[in-house]
Amino acid sequence: MEQSNQVRTGATGTKTGTSSGVSLKSLPAGTFTTIEKLDRGGSLQARKLTGETVQFYWRYSHEGRTYREPIGHYDPAAPPKKHEPTLAGYSLAGARERCRLLADQHGQRKNTGGLRQVKSEERDEFKARSAAQAERSTRTLQGLLDTYVAHLKALERRSHVDAAGIFNAHVTRAWPKLADAPAADLTADDVLDMQRRLIEEGKGRTANKLRSYLHAAYQCAIDVRVSAALPVALKAYGIHVNPAAQTKRDPKFDRADKRPLSAAELKTYWQLIRKLPGLRGSVLRLHLLTGGQRVHQFVKLRWVDATTDTFTIFDAKGRPGQGPRSHVLPLLRKAVSTMQEFERQGEYVMTTTKGRCPIGATTVTGWAHDAVGDAIEGFQLKRIRSGVETLLAANGISREIRGRLQSHGLTGVQARHYDGHDYMPEKRQALEVLHAAIEPTRRKRVNP
């Protein structure tokens, strides 16, 4: 049974016998002792715990039952009139004031559960806040970026490889604390710091690309509330502001460094590869003879997409959510004979695994660099594509036909929805001009 001692009070209602720290410390251990009755209801009690520790309580009644609400420890070193608690606990005056505040809370909610209901609601709110914080801590910037990259990959967008590489190198590894922090906490200053670091390292183009990918990832997380085409996982990040949208890209770093191969360099390249033996020679020849297509699309050519005089590859660049666009190319006689050099087995034409999977774009790049050596200064495989377009432009092939041949610049409603012409004759003519320029065997004069 509970033991409780009532401390005597004087005529003025103030307590007597426990006004000093010595009196409180001398309380019998384990016994609840009433220090004083309170004018707003209930009473201040104290109980000696282990050692010299004394705990204060507010004792009150509600609906016929008695309750005690812990207040805190007694701090004998606290100023006697100090109401606010110290790090160690309360003064007697502070404990009394705390009881009065609790009595007010209880009185305000007396008909709706009283203090116990107030405390229950506070506990529920605390649990909800803690759960929300725990959930929020899992919705990190790294998670958002991973979700965005997975979305790009699901759309079969080639950019998912580039985005993943940039995020990994210039967010995950460079800014690990930001990567592990909630995505919703990223600020414009953080994005600028990321850009500034790259610019100072001489990587201005990468700085602009990082900003673009961050902008796209956050915009997807915002647009998920209005677009069912976006993955619902983005909704959980709670993004309402796009921090990258509050920054600017530096246009001077956006200039493309294609340095197209000249007509003479293209001819030199052709002479280096035209009799190159084995798979590498066949791949490099077919690549040039079909107009210098994007290598990562070109190497995925499948036998099912090839006919006797055409083949179809798939362009994943372009409008988000539209899926890869088929890109049909005619094959000149020389390209047809090159296609016959590949062993027909499995799914893919260009393969070292008997058709199970295609060769990699980096492998083709390496083969081209090995074939060229020092013959062409500053050679890069991407310069073939721009070199082909430059050569065709110099020989009167229109911008539209060059775009049709290399699958770029096909924008606008007319091009996407109304123009049903396949442009195969025009593409074939452009490839004939290319072939005549790199291996002039005809009498037809071609501009240099």
pLDDT digits (tens, 9 = 90+) for 181-225: 999 999 999 999 999 999 999 999 999 999 999 999 999 999 999
Cα–Cα distance for residue pair 55/49, rounded to 1 Å: 7
Domain boundaries, the chain: 4-110, 138-253, 263-438
- Counting runs of H as helices and runs of E as strands, what totals does the chain give? 17, 7
Confidence grade of residue 11 (pLDDT, cut at 50, 70, 90): very low
Token pair in block for residue 201: 């390292």
User: What's the pLDDT tens digit per position in 308-320?
Assistant: 999 999 887 655 5
The residues with which 310 forms a beta bridge, in sequence order, are: 330
Cα–Cα distance for residue pair 413/173, rounded to 1 Å: 42
Residue 440 CB partners (closer than 8 Å, separation 6+): 446
Token pair in block for residue 293: 């297509």
**Is 138-253's fold the same as 263-438's?**
no
pLDDT at residue 216, rounded to an integer = 94
Q: Which fold has domain 263-438?
A: hpI Integrase; Chain A (1.10.443)
Cα–Cα distance for residue pair 403/413, rounded to 1 Å: 16
Cα–Cα distance for residue pair 225/222, rounded to 1 Å: 6
User: What's the pLDDT tens digit per position in 236-263?
Assistant: 898 999 999 999 988 887 765 568 999 9
Q: Which fold has domain 138-253?
A: DNA polymerase; domain 1 (1.10.150)
Of 110 and 406, the structure prediction assigns the larger pLDDT to 406
Cα–Cα distances (Å) from 251 to 199, 210, 219, 255, 386, in that order, read 12, 14, 21, 7, 21
How many CB atoms lie under 10 A from the CB of residue 439? 14
Of 24 and 437, the structure prediction assigns the larger pLDDT to 437
Cα–Cα distance for residue pair 175/169, rounded to 1 Å: 9
Of 155 and 431, the structure prediction assigns the larger pLDDT to 431
412: pLDDT strictly greater than 50: no
Token pair in block for residue 232: 């619902």
3: pLDDT strictly greater than 50: no
Q: Which helix (H) or strand (E) holds 391?
A: helix 382-394
Cα–Cα distance for residue pair 230/220, rounded to 1 Å: 7
